[in-house]
A and B are shown apart, each in its own frame.
Chain A
Amino acid sequence: MPSQADQHKPGAERKYGDKYKLIGKNYQTADLVAKVTGKAKYAEDFRVDGMLFCKLLLSPLPHARVKHIDARKALAIPGVKAILTADELPAPADSLTDLGTVIKANPRGERALTNEPLYQGEPVLAVAAVDELTAAEAIEALDVDFEPLPFVLDPLDSLRPGGPNPRVEGNIWVQAPPPPTKPGERPPSPPPPDVGELKWTKEDFAEADQGRMPMGKTRDEWSYGDVEQGFKNAALVLDESFVTPDTSHQTLETRSALAYWQNGKVYVHTGTQSTVQTVPALARWLHLDPSQVVLVSEYTGGGFGSKVTAAISAIIPALLSKKANAPVMMRISREEEHFIGRGRPSLLGRLKVGFAKDGRITALDMFVICNTGPYDAVGDAGAAGRIVSLLYQPAAMRWRGATIMTNTPPRGPQSAPGGMQGIVMMEPIMGKAARKLSLDQVAIRRINCPEGKAEFGPAQNGKRTHCTSSFIKDALDRGAEQFRWKERIANKPNQQGSKRRGLGVSVSCFFGGSTGYDGLFLVKPDGRIAIQSGIGNLGTESVIDCHRVVAEELGIPWEKCDLTWGNTSQNLPWTCVSGGSQTTHAMTRAAHAAAADARQKLQEIATKTLGGKPENYVVANERVFAKGGRGMTLAQAAQQAIKLGGKYDGHEAPDDVNKYTKASVAALAGQGLVAVAKDKYPHDGTSMSFVASFAEVEVDVETGKYHILDFLAYADVGTVLDPRALGGQVLGRSILGIGHAIGQKWVFDPHYGQMISRRFYQNKPPTILDLPVNMQWAALDIPDPETPVGARGIGEPPVGGGCASVLNALTDAVGDDVIRRAPVNADTILASLEAGRPAQDPLTAHI
């Protein structure tokens, strides 16, 4: 339990990692000084001899066909070097799974440039010139004939009988099931998805005018338990509609890219969340072998899911560079980033939830429509169902969903994709139920939340999946204590003047880890440790933090460890993508496996050199030694490894590591003791992390303006690896969620199909002054039982809680019916209160 003193200190001052020397301790990461002094070089900071700049022509229309491009005037401008159109792009390429299955390319998928733009702002062509100004003037000198085509922005408009389609062929992806796998053969390739049409009936829309989410047929559905019986047994049944916002990822580093070709290889400098796995992505987009691609990405200015393997637009400078025979820099402007930078999809939902008298959920019927934009279907609708199923543990549940295409910018995964929206839809219902049943808000969440290896989602092959561990109850209890929940409830002032206080709590969770990646480091002949990190430096510090496990396990001072990251020519191991908050879990496991490999090799080298049995040798204090007997330094052991060769110095690599890792091991061979291993640790369940979030707000009911007075996020993330970085994630991602509650949005003119919120001051990401001065965080620090270090990911789990705790605090202050969509601004509150409390335009995502 936190002490009294702890309650008033920032969480980072709490003590974590009692059992460890390095894990759970604050330290200065190797990239810190460069970041805070501005010496860190992001993609657009690079300059190469002879470098050209390129600019893009974006589609002015939400859906159109390029009939004709006249570039004569543009190309005649002095300094204009090349133009690239969609006709010159490589065709979409198939990809290969680890099992050897070919995934057929989707011929209708997104490409870097297009002749049929499906959203306003979609890149149509690119021009390279000696400088940016000349390139921009060349774009203005183009004569492009666009034929306007029908468009639709709101999925409900497209679902109406006779409603417009975003694509000529329809509004929904149709994926035929893959053919059955024959025994002993590889799974056959699934056919590429097709575009179909989904329309609802007039009757389906009967309730839409009253602001209730219409429910027509969907393509996807699952259920477990007896939902109907659950509702019959319920003491209270709520049936609520809720609409969540579309929000840009708003990475401060836009997706700028520099590319050039040298000796048959393309060098690409660009921000990415995942260093190693961006190589195969670029290779596929460019039709190259991965060995022909070098990625440089030492620093990335934010991703939040929008740069999992960089962005397909990065191939534009690569192709222009080839064509112009010069390096090409593409600096993406803020305007362009708003169009191509991805966004979280709005989810339009309707949830019917049955509660027993004690607040236990007896049945849950969830219906969601996801607005995915014009390209690939994001998984938010499905994830929303699975996360709600885990977090609230309904005794029976049905989920139905459809992901609808529209002529709005392409969506991508954004921090807790789907999970966040599911929580934001569910939490106000929990709040309302607690008020109706006269239950405490913490108590109703406590009675429903998962515990231990809780099951969730539908059964597959007769079995439901479960999480590796959940201690969210403890997080709720400790969080309530630290937030002084009961005291605040008891002392909540009545309305003072025009001010009303509100208190909110929310539970939250998301995926927190994967398995099966490779760890790689060297013990050098001088005794230093050279750690190879294939993790992207996306701001979470996992690029460095995960490798603390190597030093911890082998008892090596952190100062003796040198880290290589951010350049794929530097022989990095196969690494997970940094998406889905999997890195901390996956790569601490890989680091642990590589450390175990090093220990074993050190023991074997000592045995070969000094005699005895391997198991009698201990690795500690930068030595390998027999207890009370002879030993050698790590430097000596590394020198010996080089003499021994074979697996000891990397001339042989384990069979089971990825071929990418094998190539890196081969390149490093002979430089010292090479420790390399794949994570094969057992793992039972799906790794999930949890957060309990608490917020207090004050609403001025005469203006609608409100302030967040206080906020606490209490995390269940397993072992705490790096408290400062963890705190940054817990609060930073809470703020990302809070942004969805207090103002972040896209706004379109529905008649013209144009986005009108194109700048920060218009789409309003939260500022630091929108947040309470003393936001707090803490973590349970209970190890996950299914991973050797016990650490899980944390990037995404806080997001839903950040948003929902604030929404819950607002409804506590102004009433349940005022808020039916997010974000909530002064106008939302005031318009509703003034009109007698109906929610304002409840089914409209963009105002």
Chain B
Amino acid sequence: MAVIRDVMPAFELLQPSSVADAQHLLARYGSDGWVLAGGLDSFDWLKDRIKKPKAVIDLSGIHELKGIRSTADGIEIGAMTTLTEVAQNPVIKQKYSLLSQSAELVASPQIRNQGTIGGNVSQDTRCWYYRGGWPCYRAGGNICYADTPVARNREHAILEAERCVAVNPSDTAPALIALDAKFVIRTAKGERVVDAEGYYVAPDRDITRLTILQAGDLLTAIRIPSAWAGAEFYFEKVRDRNVWDFPLLNVASAMFTSGNTIDKIRIAVNAAAARPLRLKKVEDAVRGKQRSAETGEIAGKLSVQGAVPLQFNAYKIPLMRNLVKRSITGVANGGQEAAWAS
């Protein structure tokens, strides 16, 4: 069969107005169903005719999945809340600005208006071999095209690669891990709440998916506990272009200090591996230490222990080292950067 790309195929479009209806439809279609949030990830798959679902279940009409609510212990964000709303919400900006900063740096204004927080944390990898329809491990085949002696892999993994070297491209995911967020999942058996970091899977566990979501499951909300409200935050994303780009690497940290001593800290990076990585060893190493350049250096070096570069991504090792260092010292990269934040 000959291949043609970039032509949207026909499919049934189903627009449920409740989570229960959506689950009902997902159960009916099983693996022939496709969950549509903002569409930024989905439409590429669909128009390239690589994923060919019979039915697309569009969540945009489900009100209970939208909006940001205060809860007894923090806030809850509906999975279908747009990234623009997340970036601009006053409570998030005031208490959990790590998340608003990360959301503000996703893609472009148009994409943030359309894209959702649930979609951003659940998106598939952008490995250009896999997205181009190459029959790789992740696509069910038995080769990784990005990890050959001549493969082009500047954007690929330096950590946790296991046959597949793709990375998770989400900007909000590491921020949510640093904030110790909980992801609320509706499954056929009922509601399940997992830690943000537990939402993601590495290729050694399941090479065909980036999250624990199974067919029929829906991410419905993200809860941020108040424990980290008002902490000192650091987020930095390094990308080729100043807008409309995935991260080459990003880092998120949340920290409480007393005097200059680090009392509590959580750090995560993304685009280094197939899942956003919480840097627990680094956290343990710097907790109780002075918040200093020296501690930053130690943290940076520790963070890249075990990193294995591919042909064209060795730069990610010093990049991660330096970003993790900055996430400790909090030396922002200057006001200048803010002028390009978009």
Contacts and interface: CB of A to CB of B under 8 A. Distances in A.
Contact of B242 (A703, A767, A841): A767
Contacts of B1: 140-143
Contact of A498 (B148, B315, B333): B333
B12 to A, nearest CB: 14
Interface stretch (B74-82, B190-198, B317-325): B317-325
Contacts of B5: 333, 335
B262 to A, nearest CB: 21
Contacts of A702: 318, 322, 325-326, 333
Interface string A805-823: 0000000000000000000
A826 B236 CA distance: 14
B248 interface: yes
Interface stretch (B14-22, B53-61, B150-158): B150-158
Interface stretch (B209-217, B224-232, B334-342): B334-342
A751 B148 contact: yes
Interface string A741-783: 0110001111110101111111010111110010000000000
Given A133-B9, A336-B6, A707 B318 contact: no
Contacts of A280: none
A283 interface: no
Nearest to A835: B314
Nearest to B332: A497
A743 B241 contact: yes
A102 interface: no
Nearest to A135: B7
23 contacts: A136-B9, A139-B4, A142-B1, A498-B322, A702-B333, A703-B236, A705-B239, A748-B152, A751-B150, A751-B151, A754-B132, A756-B152, A764-B240, A767-B242, A770-B241, A826-B248, A826-B315, A827-B154, A827-B316, A834-B315, A841-B312, A847-B154, A847-B312
B29 to A, nearest CB: 21
Contacts of A336: 6
Nearest to B312: A847
A136 B7 contact: yes
A759 B48 CA distance: 11
A762 B241 CA distance: 11
Given A834-B315, A847-B312, A767 B152 contact: no
Interface string B107-133: 010000000000000000010110010
Interface in A319-361: 333-336
Interface of B: 1-10, 44, 48-49, 108, 126, 128-129, 132, 145, 148, 150-152, 154, 236, 238-246, 248, 312-319, 322-323, 325-326, 331, 333-334, 336-337, 339-340, 342
B319 A704 contact: yes
A55 B340 contact: no
A502 to B, nearest CB: 14
B241 A704 contact: no
Given A750-B150, A761-B246, 13 more contacts: A133-B7, A133-B8, A143-B1, A143-B2, A333-B5, A334-B6, A335-B6, A497-B331, A702-B333, A743-B240, A743-B241, A764-B240, A830-B315
A207 to B, nearest CB: 21
A333 B7 contact: yes
Contacts of B314: 831, 834
Contacts of B316: 827
A201 interface: no
Q: Which of A55, A703, A841 has the most CB of B within 10 A?
A: A703
A57 B319 contact: no
Contacts of A132: 7
Contacts of B337: 707
A847 B155 CA distance: 10
A749 B129 contact: yes
A499 B331 CA distance: 12
A758 B47 CA distance: 14
A700 B245 CA distance: 18
A831 B318 CA distance: 8
A454 B137 CA distance: 61
B131 to A, nearest CB: 9
Contacts of A335: 5-6, 48
B6 A827 contact: no
B342 A769 contact: yes
A847 B336 CA distance: 29
Contacts of A60: 2-3
Nearest to B342: A769
A826 B10 contact: no
Nearest to B2: A142
Interface residues of A, number: 63
A747 B129 CA distance: 11
B290 to A, nearest CB: 20
Contacts of B132: 754, 756, 758
Interface in A363-406: none
A140 B10 contact: no
Contacts of B154: 827, 847
Interface in A692-715: 698, 700, 702-705, 707, 709
A825 interface: yes
A736 B340 CA distance: 20
Given A751-B151, A826-B319, A847-B154, A140 B6 contact: no
Secondary structure at the A interface, as helix, strand, loop or mixed, is mixed
A846 interface: yes
Contacts of A709: 336
A698 B334 CA distance: 11
A379 to B, nearest CB: 29
Nearest to A338: B6
Given A334-B6, A770-B241, A830 B331 contact: no
A620 interface: no
A141 B239 CA distance: 40
A144 interface: yes
A830 B320 CA distance: 11
A764 B49 CA distance: 23
Contacts of A704: 238, 315, 319
Contacts of B3: 60, 140
B315 A769 contact: no
A705 B7 contact: no
Contacts of B2: 57, 60, 139-144
A704 B1 CA distance: 45
Given A57-B4, A754-B132, A767-B242, A707 B336 contact: yes
A140 B242 CA distance: 38
B243 A497 contact: no
A767 B4 contact: no
Nearest to A137: B9
Nearest to B300: A702
A766 B145 CA distance: 28
Contacts of A841: 312
A568 B132 CA distance: 41
Nearest to A133: B10
B214 to A, nearest CB: 29
A698 B336 contact: yes
Contacts of A698: 336
A757 B129 CA distance: 9
Given A756-B129, A847-B152, A847-B154, A703 B244 contact: no
B7 A703 contact: no
Contacts of B326: 702
Contacts of B9: 133, 136-137
Given A751-B150, A752-B145, A769-B242, A834 B318 contact: yes
A79 to B, nearest CB: 13
A497 B334 CA distance: 9
A17 to B, nearest CB: 36
B244 A767 contact: yes
Given A143-B2, A751-B150, A757-B128, A766 B7 contact: no
A56 B48 CA distance: 14
A756 B128 contact: yes
B321 to A, nearest CB: 9
Contacts of B44: 759
Contacts of A834: 314-315, 317-318
